[in-house]
Amino acid sequence: MKNHTTYGAHLTLRIANIERRHALQGPHGVSDLLVDLIDRIGMRILAGPLTAEETGDPERRGWSSVAILYESHCAIHTYPELGEAFLDVFSCKTFPIAAITTLLTERFGEFAIVEQSLTDRGIHWGPNVEKELASWVLTRSGS
């Protein structure tokens, strides 16, 4: 998943036709899902999850939850009335995508992945990430 010339991998999923729409509702269910997903892929929470409800039109109504990880971040945005969700996992540590889809199946039942993207991020970073970060900081500070 991650090659030696990138910082990390960024997975985005849009899932639709979710069988168990009730699992997309409420702050506890959504944040618990995020915590379980983070644990399942072997990462650690630094802050969060922070979970909030978006009210309004049915196509925009739902719940969002985000966690800052020691390894980067993870977020989910749910739309119960549409039976859809967006998931975002970015990490400098490799992670098993199959573990994510297995957990989603356990929670949501049947669903369809209608969009999936796995992108290498930080392609300008060399294999020595600490050296590259130090160089980036110097550039940003004007030194």
Q: Is the predicted pLDDT of residue 24 greater than 80, yes or no?
A: yes
37 closest CA partner among 17, 59, 13 = 13
The answer to whether 120 and 9 have CB atoms below 8 angstroms apart is yes
Residue-level pLDDT at 141: 66
Q: Rounded distance, CA 98 to CA 39, Å?
A: 14
62-69 vs 72-79, strand pairing mode: antiparallel
Residues with catalytic roles: 72, 77, 92
Q: Which of 113, 104, 54 is nearest to 74 (CA)?
A: 104
In a 10 Å sphere around its CB, with 0-12 CB exposed, 13-18 middle and 19+ buried, how is residue 57 labelled? Answer: exposed
| pLDDT value of position 116 | 93
> 105: pLDDT confidence band, cut at 50, 70 and 90?
very high
Query: Alpha carbon of 108 to those of 10, 81, 100, 112: distances in Å?
Result: 22, 14, 12, 11
Provide, rounded to the nearest whole percent, the portion of the chain with pLDDT above 90: 59
